[in-house]
Amino acid sequence: MKGYILIEFMVAAVLFALASSGVSTSLVQGMKTHARVQQSFRTYDPFRILFLKIEKDLRNTVELKKYPFEGTNRRIRFPAFLSFVDEQGKDVQRLCWVEYEVRDKALVRKNKAMKPNFKEKEAEERILLQGFESFNFSFAFKDEDGRIVFYPFWEKDSYQGIPRAVKIETKPLDFSKIISIPQGKLGWIPEEKKNEF
């Protein structure tokens, strides 16, 4: 009888040790995974938040022939209706010039509200992101085969309206996003630029 109790105790101890080993291994792996996820959030969250802000501005773009959408690989400028809280605490919408520009490894956003007679007020300027290797804009065009391609310019002359999509690419993270603009159009390449691409 005593021999059976010892064997049962040893089997139970081995099973307990195996279970404890599995649990501790899972716990260590879980902690490592959690640390990697937290590091990923710290790395990518500023870009996600920034892209949401740019997307919100671009989707509020309005087509005004007198104030056309302008774009290069380092700068976009466009009129948009933006929401503000006025001095009385009310939500109001105003027509504004919005500009995103890459300057010395920093992305700067300018916001310039227009008065009702379309005269521009003083611009508010804010640095949104710093320290990246590159930050580029490109715009949706339709090529001769009907495919959508992205080029690093958007012509204001001749007037093409608002682009159907804006592609943003950053390095060194190789992070990119295509922001579609529902009220936009696919661009066409002017004859004088066709031989450049």
- DSSP state letter for 115: P
**Contact by Cβ (8 Å): 132, 180:** no
The whole-angstrom distance between residue 64's C-alpha and the CA centroid of its chain comes to 25
For residue 18, tell me if it sits in a domain. no
Domains: count for the chain: 1
* Average pLDDT of the residues in 165-181: 87
Q: Alpha-carbon distance 176 to 50, whole Å?
A: 12
List the single range of 15-29, 120-134, 178-192 with lowest mean pLDDT.
120-134
For residue 42, tell me if it sits in a domain. no
Question: Residue 59 has what pLDDT?
Answer: 92
β-pair type (75-85, 70-72): antiparallel
Q: Is residue 38 over pLDDT 60? A: yes
**Contact by Cβ (8 Å): 79, 67:** yes
For residue 146, which of 180, 188, 190 has the smallest C-alpha distance? 188
Percent of the chain with pLDDT over 70: 85
Q: Is residue 91 over pLDDT 90? A: no
pTM over 0.85: no
Question: Residue 80 has what pLDDT?
Answer: 92
* Average pLDDT of the residues in 53-67: 89
For residue 120, tell me if it sits in a domain. yes
Q: Alpha-carbon distance 97 to 69, whole Å?
A: 10
For residue 3, tell me if it sits in a domain. no
* Average pLDDT of the residues in 171-178: 81
Task: Calculate the average pLDDT of the chain.
Answer: 81
Percent of the chain with pLDDT over 90: 23
* Average pLDDT of the residues in 135-143: 90
Split at pLDDT 50, 70, 90, the class of 73 is: very high
For residue 11, tell me if it sits in a domain. no
Q: Is residue 193 over pLDDT 70? A: no
pLDDT one-digit tens code per residue, 140-166: 998 878 888 898 989 777 778 899 999
Looking up tokens 């022939």 gives 65
For residue 131, which of 76, 172, 178 has the smallest C-alpha distance? 172
Beta strands in the chain (DSSP E): 70-72, 75-85, 91-103, 106-113, 124-130, 134-142, 148-151, 153-154, 165-171, 175-180
For residue 34, tell me if it sits in a domain. no
Give residue 145's domain range. 51-194
Split at pLDDT 50, 70, 90, the class of 102 is: very high
Q: Alpha-carbon distance 107 to 130, whole Å?
A: 6
Sign of CA dihedral 151, 126, 53, 84: negative
For residue 87, tell me if it sits in a domain. yes
Question: Residue 55 has what pLDDT?
Answer: 92
**Contact by Cβ (8 Å): 163, 69:** yes
For residue 6, tell me if it sits in a domain. no
Helix (H, G, I), strand (E, B) or coil at 87: coil
